[in-house]
Structure 1
Amino acid sequence: MTRIGITGHSKLSAESVPLVREALSAVLAPYENGDLVGVSCLARGADQIFAGVVLEAGGRLEVVLPSVDYREAKVKPHNLDQFDDLLMRSSLVRYMPHRTAGREAYEDANETVLGGIDRLVAVWDGQPADGRGGTGDAVEAARERGVPVDVVWPEGARRE
């Protein structure tokens, strides 16, 4: 069983979504034999695209939510259906011990993801994080631990 986590930009342009989905499908293709577990915090953008690709590949999805109020506080109305669909299709949901979403909750969620994976996929444009806990920080933390990182940023992808 291979456990692969995701980190990535949440604000991807609409044109970037199919490009990122295709790139993630290529990265996950070697693990389509049924032994894939994807670990995601289900943030919009890269996390949700990854979660969908994991399920399409026949893998299992495990979700790490940063706080008890994450859905109500952070999931936008236009994204609720997709979030709920992925959450219902997950095989395991873990909540971090935080009542409210915030920087500490996100850092703890990222730490939990990093602590339970064999590889990390980063949908990342290579730019430094703007604040603690961003994609760049997760990539750096994974590399410091010796966790292999696959950076995905297909040509033509851009942030909103």
Structure 2
Amino acid sequence: MTTLAVTGHTDLTEETVPLVRAALRELLHPYSEDLTGVSCIAAGAESLFAEEVSAMGGRLVAVIPSLDYGTAVVKPEDAAVFDHLNETAVEVQTLPYETADRAAYEAADSELLKRADRLVAVWDGTPSSGRGGGTADLVEEARRAGVPVDVVWPDGAARRG
């Protein structure tokens, strides 16, 4: 069984979503016979990854950073996807942090790496902000830990703002 964890941008443009979805489908295909995907199921890249893992019959494991994540962080327009992925996951691990703060996100990232054979990063290559807990930070941490990283950023992909 291969376990792939995901990290990625939440602010993908509407035009980028199908590009990333197709790239993820292509990346995941070789693992489809025995795939486990681990995701915090945040909006954007992480939810797209989780949806693709589920669509190909893989096992989805959700790692929720904090007890209040679903109400404090998930936006109303993303709640239906978040709830659906929570329900379809074969395992949901909610970390014991009261609030979704930097410590909770870093702990969730550590849990992703602990479970992963590989890390999929839907990432435009932007360096770390230095605040911790971001996509670049997890990519750096994975590389330091010797976890192989597959970067997904298809031609034409962009972030909002």
Residues 41-56 of structure 1: pairs in structure 2 closer than 5 A: 41-56=40-55
Aligned to 1:150: 150
After superposition, the C-alpha distances for 1:10-48 in whole angstroms (9 at most, x for unaligned) are 110000000000000010000111x10000001100000
Displacement after TM superposition at 1:95 (Å): 1.1
Residues 92-131 of structure 1: pairs in structure 2 closer than 5 A: 92-130=91-129, 131=131
Deviates most, 145-154 or 124-133: 124-133
Q: 3-state DSSP class of the match of 1:6?
A: strand
Cα distance between partner residues in 1 of 2:75 and 2:133: 21
Residues 3-152 of structure 1: pairs in structure 2 closer than 5 A: 3-33=3-33, 35-130=34-129, 131-152=131-152
Unmatched runs of 5 consecutive residues or more in structure 2? none
Displacement after TM superposition at 1:129 (Å): 2.2
Cα distance between partner residues in 1 of 2:128 and 2:54: 28
After the TM superposition, list the runs of 4 or more consecutive aligned residues in structure 1 that deviate by more than 2 angstroms.
none
The aligned length equals: 159
Percent of aligned pairs with the same residue? 53
After superposition, the C-alpha distances for 1:49-81 in whole angstroms (9 at most, x for unaligned) are 000000011101000000001000000011111
Cα distance between partner residues in 2 of 1:136 and 1:151: 11
After superposition, the C-alpha distances for 1:101-147 in whole angstroms (9 at most, x for unaligned) are 11110000000001111000000000112221111111111011111
Q: Which amino acid aligns with 2:28?
A: L
Unmatched runs of 5 consecutive residues or more in structure 1? none
Q: Which amino acid aligns with 1:135?
A: T
Cα distance between partner residues in 1 of 2:96 and 2:87: 21
TM-score normalised by structure 1 residue count:
0.98
